[in-house]
Copies of this chain bind each other. A is one copy, B any other.
Amino acid sequence: MKFVEKLLEASRKNRSLLCVGLDPDTYLMPEMSILEFNKAIIEATSDVVCAYKPNFAFYEVLGTEGLEALRRTIGFIPDYIPIIGDAKRGDIGNTAKAYARALFHVFGFDAATVNPYMGFDSLDPFIEYENKGVFILCRTSNPGAKDFQDFADAGGRHLYQTVAQKASEWNTHGNIGLVVGATYPRDLVEIRKICPDMPLLIPGIGAQGGDLALAVKAGVDAYGEKAIINVSRQILYASSGKDFAEAARRAACGVRDNINLVLEQLRG
């Protein structure tokens, strides 16, 4: 099954555009293994999400045991829910091939995030996996996004717009998506115009301050779909006590319902 079909199925089944970022930070979570923590979070939220997105950094920082925990975490996620490996990889051809294989074969992710700085041949080994999703960083959610992504050509066109345009041209398999931060809602509107059909992975809600309603309105396609609203800390650390899983569920349901309210207004 193609990634985008899997995404839409999970999204429709759970009536959700919410993606939970599985970023276990040992400084913020209760005292337990990250594997137990992830398992509890997944059990508490798997019927209200459209995807999960573990970020490699939080596993690599724990060494090889962390990566083993990541591998096992994937096994806890119900099969019908797509899993996005957030690794932001990018390297030359033969090396990118190894990364793509690591993400899609070894770990078995349904999709991965990649960095466009090195150009097409660094992305192509990922794109060649036709049934996997490839989310190219376009307009990231952080303040530093402006440093290079705002670089403009003589016509006033920004680098991030060029990335969106190129991604659209390269999308012959229909498996490319873009990462666009909710913290830049006007840019999100523009990017949705350049790529009307692509899935957009939208971080930046919650701890980073992006506005949920604006992100949903600007992020969805013409059918109110294909926006993947990622929230991590606001859900994972809704409570630091023993009730962290229930609190995470409440927070996840809250975000999911707020997204659906915005969608109802859009349709109304």
Residues of A within 8 A of B (CB): 23, 25, 55, 57-58, 60-64, 67-68, 71, 88-96, 98-99, 101-102, 106-107, 115-123, 137, 140-149, 151-154, 159, 162-163, 166, 203, 208
Contact = CB atoms under 8 A, between A and B. Distances in A.
A98 B137 CA distance: 19
B166 A92 contact: no
Given A63-B106, A118-B140, A119-B143, A91 B55 contact: yes
8 contacts: A57-B96, A58-B98, A61-B101, A119-B144, A120-B144, A121-B144, A122-B144, A148-B162
Nearest to A60: B102
B148 A95 contact: no
Nearest to A96: B57
Nearest to A121: B144
Contacts of A25: 94, 98
Q: State the number of copies, please.
A: 2
B88 A90 contact: yes
Given A64-B68, A88-B90, A148 B154 contact: no
Given A67-B67, A117-B148, 19 more contacts: A23-B95, A25-B98, A55-B95, A57-B91, A57-B96, A57-B102, A60-B106, A62-B106, A64-B64, A64-B67, A92-B142, A92-B208, A93-B142, A116-B117, A117-B149, A118-B142, A121-B144, A123-B144, A154-B154
Contacts of A91: 55, 57, 88
A144 B93 CA distance: 9
Contact of A88 (B63, B89, B116, B123): B89
B151 A61 contact: no
Contacts of A71: 63-64
Given A68-B64, A147-B166, A162-B151, A119 B98 contact: no
A174 to B, nearest CB: 20
